[in-house]
């Protein structure tokens, strides 16, 4: 049978509040049970309120921790984005610095350091079994100082840039052209015989001789001297370059605008 506790409570209160039952032994026992029961209910009520308070505190704590975690996560994501952007910028800067260290800023040709690296590679990886070997050519722009003195250094720079492009357009299919320094350039021709190298460099010399740069309605023209050196089995890079430099000096001493093969 299901007990209706609300009705039972009312009946007990009625008995306890009726004076005629006050002296009945069962009434005293019932009153004590009632007081014990009320104390139990009060205790349960306090525990319930304490539990609710604790749960509310834990929920607020959990919410606070979650909010702080989300905040830290957003900060970490922001730091990660900044770090990624910094790393990309750093890589780009390193690439730019590497390029700057290897490329001549005026002519945008390989600089002396870069062309020496290419020459070192060509020497180390040459194939002596091939009938055509390694050839280098040293180029000097004739009377370049006169161009600077007559037209100024800006025009001199324009001449270097224009001739560098002209020569590179002819050479780059066959080898490498780099700025050696000042008005001098170095050409590396792998797998070239002496005859092929001479023919190519004569083409370059003719191209420069027929080129005219227009400055303030004035035509600026010049020529080049070329010294060629063919690699020999006993050569080092220094001897190979020295022979090309000696040949260039000889070409300049013979009136310039000519090509000499080093012996």
Distance of CA 52 to the CA centre of its chain: 58
Q: Where are the alpha helices (DSSP H) in 179-223?
A: 194-209
Residues constituting the chain: 263
Three-class secondary structure of residue 212 per DSSP: strand
Per-residue DSSP letter, 20:
G
In terms of Cα–Cα distance, which of 94, 91, 186 is closest to 135?
A: 186
Distance CA 82, CA 230 (A): 54
Distance CA 181, CA 104 (A): 9
Distance of CA 57 to the CA centre of its chain: 51
Mark whether 183 is an active-site residue: yes
Say which residues have a Cβ less than 8 Å from residue 262's Cβ, sequence separation at least 6.
227, 228, 229, 230, 243, 244, 246, 247
Active-site residue, from 183, 195, 202, 234: 183
What is the token pair recorded at 36? 């014990």
In terms of Cα–Cα distance, which of 136, 126, 229, 227 is closest to 175?
A: 136
What is the token pair recorded at 126? 């040459």
**Count of helices and strands (H, E) across the chain:** 7, 7
**Catalytic center residues:** 183
């Amino acid at each position: 049978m299901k007990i209706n506790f609300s009705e039972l409570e009312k009946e007990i209160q009625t008995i306890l509040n009726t004076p005629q039952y006050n002296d009945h032994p069962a009434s005293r026992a019932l009153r004590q049970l009632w007081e014990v029961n009320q104390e139990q209910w009060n205790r349960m009520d306090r525990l319930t309120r304490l539990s609710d308070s604790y749960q509310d505190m834990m929920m607020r704590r959990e919410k606070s921790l979650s909010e702080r975690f989300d905040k830290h996560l957003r900060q970490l994501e922001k730091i990660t984005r900044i770090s990624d952007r910094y790393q990309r910028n750093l890589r780009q800067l390193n690439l730019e610095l590497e390029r700057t260290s290897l490329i001549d800023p005026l002519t945008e040709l390989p600089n002396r350091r870069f062309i020496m690296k290419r020459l070192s590679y060509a020497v180390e990886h040459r194939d002596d079994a091939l009938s055509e070997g390694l050839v280098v050519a040293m180029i000097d722009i004739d009377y370049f100082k006169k161009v600077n003195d007559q037209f100024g250094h800006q025009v001199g720079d324009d001449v270097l840039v224009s001739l560098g492009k002209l020569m590179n357009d002819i050479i780059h299919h066959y080898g490498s052209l780099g700025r050696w320094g000042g008005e001098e350039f170095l050409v590396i021709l792998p797998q070239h015989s002496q005859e092929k190298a001479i023919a190519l460099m004569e083409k370059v010399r003719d191209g420069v001789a027929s080129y005219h740069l227009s400055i303030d309605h004035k035509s600026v023209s010049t020529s080049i001297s070329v010294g060629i050196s063919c690699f020999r089995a006993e050569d080092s890079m220094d001897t190979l370059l020295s022979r090309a430099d000696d040949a260039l000096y000889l070409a300049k001493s013979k009136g310039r605008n000519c090509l000499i093969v080093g012996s």
